[in-house]
Amino acid sequence: MLKATIIDKMNSNKAITLKQTAIAEAMLLNLSDKVSKTEFNEAWYSEKSYNKHVVKRTKLGEIIDAADYEAKTRDVIANAQKLIVVTPTKGMISGKLQIISNGWIVLIGEEGKIITSYPFDENKLSFEQRHIDNGDIVYEYFISSTIKKILNGI
Amino acid sequence: MNTLSAAQLKKYLTEYSLHIEYWEPHDGDGNELLGCREILKENYNALSLEDQNTLHRIDSEAAQILIDYDGDNSFDIEMLKKAINISTHNDRKAA
């Protein structure tokens, strides 16, 4: 159901899809550059937000410590196979890009910075399904081999 | 939806509480807390009276965060408002 919805939208918006792909891959490369050249917390939306995530996820037992969180998040970005890009359509802000790998999810905001990084939970409504249900534009892309090679190096 | 055990529901209640404790609406990071809230809503009758009261308390904290927030209404904010059924002063300004 999810795939059919996305493919249907892609077929009817091919020009938009190409543009979205370029933007999504540029955001991903920008993020990988940040992650490889700066302190990990600088790749986040804000340092305060990053610190809160570390505390919360440690309390939830999802990570051991900040180093574990960094390793899990880096692993998602380095092994990304596909991207989900969401653009809300009902006058609301915050388009997002989602990467999933090995049961872990990383969400990136419009500025190309990490919003959150968390484990997939099958009991919860997925990020993309929530947006599809809301009538938002949702695109799914498989990452090109060239981009994958760059990401693998982080 | 799978049938959840009392222990799993307790876990989601704890998780929802932690998400609300650390949530800032402008961060655009509401999918997990929404996911927990929806699971707890679907399983409300399976919660103990004590846990139902805890859920109401956490909802009150969530409502206060939303009422205090005066930034743009993002997708996550709109979804949480629907989940806990409140309107904020942003909505009243727009009305």
Q: DSSP characters for B8-52?
A: HHHHHHHHHHHHHHH--GGG---HHHHHHHHHHHHTGGGS-HHHH
B74 touches chain A (CB under 8 A): yes
Considering only the C-alpha atoms of chain A, give the largest distance between any 2 of them, rounded to a whole number of Å.
45
**Where do runs of H (alpha helix) occur along A60-126?**
66-78
> 3-state DSSP call for residue A53?
helix
Task: Give the nearest partner residue to B39 out of A93, A123, A127, using CB atoms.
Answer: A123
Contact A63, B46 (CB under 8 A): no
d(CA B22, CA A25): 30
Residues 6+ apart with CB under 8 A from A98: A83, A84, A85, A86, A105, A106, A107, A108, A127, A128
Taking CB atoms and an 8 Å limit, are A49 and B27 in contact across chains? yes
Q: Please count the residue pairs, one from chain A and one from chain B, whose beta carbons lie less than 8 angstroms apart.
A: 70
Give me chain A's average pLDDT, please. Answer: 79
For A119, name the nearest residue in chain B, comparing CA atoms only: B32
A104 lies in which domain range?
Answer: 2-152
pLDDT in tens, A115-149: 999 999 999 998 888 888 888 878 887 887 877 78
Between A122 and A82, name the one with better pLDDT. Answer: A122
> Residue B44 to residues B4, B13, B60: CA-CA distances in angstroms?
11, 11, 16
Judge whether residue A6 has pLDDT over 60: no
Number of domain units in chain A: 1
d(CA A84, CA A119): 16
Residues of A in contact with B30 (CB under 8 A): none
Contact A101, A143 (CB under 8 A): no
A-contacting residues of B 16-45, CB under 8 Å? 18-19, 21-22, 24, 27-29, 31-32, 34-36, 38-39
Taking CB atoms and an 8 Å limit, are A123 and B32 in contact across chains? no
Taking CB atoms and an 8 Å limit, are A127 and B31 in contact across chains? yes
Contact B28, A111 (CB under 8 A): no
Indicate the pLDDT class of residue B54, thresholds 50, 70 and 90. very high
| Dihedral over alpha carbons A18, A23, A26, A30 (to 10 degrees) | -170
Strand partners, A87: A137
- Tell me which residues of chain A have a C-beta less than 8 Å from any C-beta of chain B: 45-46, 49, 52-53, 55-56, 59-60, 88, 92-94, 96, 107, 109, 115-116, 118, 121-125, 127, 130-131, 134, 136
pLDDT in tens, B2-45: 689 999 999 999 999 999 999 988 887 889 999 999 999 999 99
Taking CB atoms and an 8 Å limit, are A96 and B39 in contact across chains? no
Taking CB atoms and an 8 Å limit, are B27 and A134 in contact across chains? no
Indicate the pLDDT class of residue B95, thresholds 50, 70 and 90. low
- Whole-prediction pTM value? 0.82
d(CA B88, CA B66): 6
A93: which 2 tokens? 């802000």
Residues of B in contact with A118 (CB under 8 A): 32
For B9, name the nearest residue in chain A, comparing CA atoms only: A123
Domain-wise residue ranges, chain B: 6-20+30-94
> Among A46, A138, A51, which Cα is nearest to B75's?
A138
